[in-house]
Structures are given as structure tokens and as C-alpha cells.
Chain A
Amino acid sequence: MLNLNPYFNKLNNHRPFLFNLVLWFCSFVILLFIFSKGQKPIKIDYIYTIGFLISVAIPVVINLYIIVPQFLKKEKYVFFGLAFTANLILFTQLHIWFFEPLIDTLFPNYFFMSYFSNTRYIVIFSIFLISTTLLKLSEDWFYFNQNENKTLKTQNELIQLQLASLRSQINPHFLFNSLNVIYALAIQKKENIKDAIVQLSDILRYVIYDSNTQRVMLKEEIKLLKNYMDFQKFRVQGFDNIHLKATIENENFKIYPMLLLPLVENSFKHGIKGNLEDTFINIELNQQGDMFYFKIENNSLKENDNSSNEKYGVGLENIQKNLEIVYPNNHTFITNETNNIFTVQLTINTQP
């Protein structure tokens, strides 16, 4: 469903040039400070620092681009430890053997005497290799985290897009039905058409604006249902066999908006037909702690219902999709039809 950034692409957006530029510039500054012993650096310090940096860069690059990817990132910790140590010992020893003769040959009239002893070179090489390894891992973590956030953001955007898409399917659906009601009242020239329009206006305000949040309070949803039921009574004159039983522990219980209205809509649309004596709608709401239970049942007139099965199913299908996104693994949605009674039961557990 979601075309997310695959994991194997997550570490491919590094900027090696920038990373190395920052790494070696900072290293140069730190080493220059160390070799000039806190004094103002002089020409010989710059030459020695550059030479030393080249010497230490070789094992660091080998470590960052061969040893760490080959062993550490593949969780071969023992091999990593061995390779890391071998790399450190080998290049420190090579430095001790060849660095001074080489720099003395290249710069015969410069005297690089009071820098560091061999012991200190081992310490500096060790610090360099350890700190650059940690820096590399930090950089990887930074990019990984950045990609994770991007992935989550993309995922969230896609979900929002889906929800908006589903809602946009609900609203016209509801509006279409409502306009049919007004139209019916207008044809019959009913006096209470004005009240119906005001009531519809309240419902639409809630549907379009108030419900446009992540969660709403349960009492608001119940109020909407009651408004809608009253509104529908304009359409179906003489129909009183509708019951709403609510047992609510906490009226401010938060719930995803517009989950229940389509179910009531469906009951009105497909249940209230033919002989009103045989028609009924029973709604039961129960909320306790983190649990929410909703049940609606109506008389089933399937054999008389010639409206498209597709249309019948659009509302329920949309609700199911919404539930999968909003309450993944925390809900049950059961539809049942027995003895000409169509029942929908919804259970939501809001505990994370």
C-alpha cells in the first residue's frame, strides 16, 4: 500500500566529500594546536602537521571505508577488533620507522625535533582511529535517523492523504443523502423544511469543520448522531422505532471522528423502507475505560433493496479502511445478517 523508501537505500545519501572535508580540516586544526603546544603556530608546525595528517589519514581511511563497513556494520565484532588493532599497530610502526626519515629528506633544512615521542604517536594514532570510527558511526546514525524521520513523515503524509480521501468519499455521500431529504420535504411543501435545513447546516458544520481533527470527544459524536436521527425523522414521517442507548463512563472519551455516522446512515438508507411497522433501528453505545463498543441493528430488506450492492458497501468499506489506519490491531468490526436483521458491531480499544 505504501511505497516507502526501502531500508537498503537509507545510507546512500551520505556526503563523503563534505564529511572528509570537515573531518580533515578539524583534524588539522586540532593537530596544529597540539604540535604548536598551544603557542602561535609557526611554519615548521604547519609542515609537520600536514605531514603527520597524511601519515595518519591512511589507516583512518582504511578503517572508515574498509574495516568498519566490512566488519563492524556486519556485526563481526571480533574480526573488527582484530583488523582495527592490526591496522593501528601496522601504521603506527610504519610511522615510527619512516615518518621522520621521510620528512627529514623532504625538508633537509627544517629541524623537527621537539614534537612527540613514539609512545605518544601510538596514543595519537589510537585516539584518531577510535574517534573517527565513532564519528563515522555518528554520521551513519545521523543519516539513518534523518531517513527514518523522512520515512515516518512520508508514511504519515500518505495516511493523511488516505484519510482525507476516505473522508471526501463520506462527505459527498452524506451530503447527497441529505439533499435528497431536503428535496423530499420541499416536494411535500413541509413547513418544518426550515428547521431541517438549519439542522442539516449544524450537521454539515460538524462534518466539514469540527470533525477535521485527529480525535473528537465522544459526546460530540453522540450529539451528531442525535442531530442526524432527528434530521432523518423529517424524511421519514411517522418513523419512531429508533432507539439509542448510551452507557458512557467518560463523555470526553476521544474517538476518531465520523466513524459512527456512516453506519447510522446505512441503517437509515437500507433499513427504512416499505412498511414502517416492521422497521427499526437500535443503537447501543458503551464506553468503559479504554474500551468503546458500538452496535447498530436494523431490519434487513435486502430482498426489496434494489439499490446497488456496491453503493451499500461503500460506507462500510470506508469505515473499515479508516479503522485499519487509525486503530490498527486495536479494533474489531463485525457485520452480520440473520433473520432479516442486519447488525454491525464495532469495538475499539484505545489503549496503545
Chain B
Amino acid sequence: MEIMKTRSLILLCLLAFFSSCIVKSIQPFYIAEATEYQTHLIGEWTDDKKATWTVVSFKDMFLEDNKDWAKVSDEDKVAYQKYKDGYFIIRTKNDKESVFMAMPFKIDEQLFMDFIPFDYEDISNDLVSQHLLRTHSVAKIDTLESNTLNITWLDESRLTDLFKKDKLKLKHEKVGIDESFVLTATSKELYAFLKKYMKADIENKWESSEKYTLTKTNAQP
């Protein structure tokens, strides 16, 4: 029993630590008009933290699983329309999988990706999972070479600075014991924020604790 308590506490602390790093939002960071499917992201990738990333087209996977369109439920059809330009991303590290739904979108030619967790192995089918709210996060995608790209999540501390300096008016709520914030603004507002943030003269505005360099492993020669 004591061991369980300790484990739970560690898990909570880890979650708190993890969640305090990137900006989370109830609503997606993109607007429908800005989404843009990127074929070159499809494939197998490894990151600089020895994790593998499998990026699969949501559309392809959905159509593969639902060959008979007549049998597709209305709910699934709505989901299909919503995410057909998106991806399933499976990140595997130490044999543990994390699955995300990701949506690529552009702001002034800069590629971004909106992430929302789909499944997390450690807490699946657990009472804890029922307490967790799936939130969106956003990452900037920079292609370094044809087979290498950087994924940089928007860091919470950047927005915290803006909030503290009274320079940001964006709907949010403070949650949890660590009072981390969750954005509650609309997708339109979030997208507008990112657009202006891109142009803003803020030092180290893309400095982040969650930054990965991905290299494609199944690249065609």
C-alpha cells in the first residue's frame, strides 16, 4: 500500500513536471483554413533522445481500417473529415509507446504541428487516465535537411513571462497544485497569437525544454 502511494506521488510529480513544460490548450492551435498536409513527414524517424517516431497518415490508416464506407458510423465520418490531413504519431522509447494525433498547419510559410495525446501506455485502462484531460500542444517544425527536422514545443515559461509582464491577453485557467495554466482561448485566438508571436521581437522565444531533432530512418536514397 505504501509502495502504491509513493508510486502515485512520483507519477503525479512527473506528470506535473512534464505538464509544466509545454503550453497546453483545451482548443486546437490551428484553424481549418491553415492546415496543410505534409507528405514528407510520413515515415520512420529517430530522435536525439533515442526514441523512434512512426508517422502515419490518419487518412490512409482510417481508409485501411474502414474499407466499406457504408459501415462507417457518422461519428467516425466526422472524425475523418476533421483529421484527414493529420497524422497518427507513435513515439516509442524503452518499449513504451505514446500515441498522438497531430495536425500540420502553416503560419506564413512556417510549419507547425498541433499535438493531442491519443493513448499513453502507462496509464491506459487506469482510473488515473479517467482524470486526465487531453489537451493540445503546439510545436514548430523546422526542416534542417531533407531527412532531418527539429520539433520545438512552445514552452510554458515563455507565456508565463508574457503574462507576468501584462503583455498577453489570452484566455486561460490556472489548474493543479502547481498552478500551471491551460489555455481556454478559441482556436482563432490561439492561431492569431502564434501568428503575432512569430513576428514578435522576444528574445529566445523558441527556447524550450521539449525540443527534438528527428532523423528519418527509412529515407529513400
Q: Which residues of A contact B (CB under 8 A)?
A: 42-45, 48, 104, 108-115
Residue of B nearest to A46 (CB): B166
The 9 closest A-B pairs by CB, nearest first: A43-B166, A42-B166, A114-B171, A111-B168, A113-B189, A113-B170, A110-B167, A113-B193, A44-B169
Complex-state Cα separation, A114 to B190, whole angstroms: 9
Cβ contacts under 8 Å, B192 to chain A: 113
Assess the B185–A114 pair: CB atoms within 8 A: yes
Cβ contacts under 8 Å, A110 to chain B: 167-168
The answer to the question of B199 belonging to the interface, with a C-beta cut-off of 8 Å to chain A, is yes
A–B pairs, 26, beta carbons within 8 Å: A42-B169, A43-B165, A43-B167, A44-B166, A44-B167, A44-B168, A48-B169, A104-B196, A108-B196, A108-B199, A108-B200, A109-B167, A109-B201, A109-B202, A110-B168, A111-B162, A111-B169, A111-B170, A111-B193, A111-B196, A113-B168, A113-B169, A113-B189, A114-B170, A114-B171, A114-B189
Complex-state Cα separation, A111 to B169, whole angstroms: 6
Residue of A nearest to B193 (CB): A113
Complex-state Cα separation, A109 to B167, whole angstroms: 7
Question: What distance in Å separates the Cβ of A291 from its nearest Cβ neighbour in chain B?
Answer: 78
Assess the B169–A45 pair: CB atoms within 8 A: yes
Assess the B201–A112 pair: CB atoms within 8 A: no
Complex-state Cα separation, A115 to B185, whole angstroms: 10
- B169: which of A104, A108, A109, A114 is its contact (CB, 8 Å)? A114
State which residues 175-193 of B face A: CB under 8 Å. 185, 189-190, 192-193
What is the size, in residues, of chain B's interface with A at 8 Å between Cβ atoms? 19
Cβ contacts under 8 Å, B190 to chain A: 113
The answer to the question of B197 belonging to the interface, with a C-beta cut-off of 8 Å to chain A, is yes
Residue of B nearest to A100 (CB): B192
Complex-state Cα separation, A104 to B196, whole angstroms: 8
Interface-centre pick from A42, A104, A109, A111 (highest chain B CB count, 10 A): A111
- B197: which of A43, A48, A111, A115 is its contact (CB, 8 Å)? A111
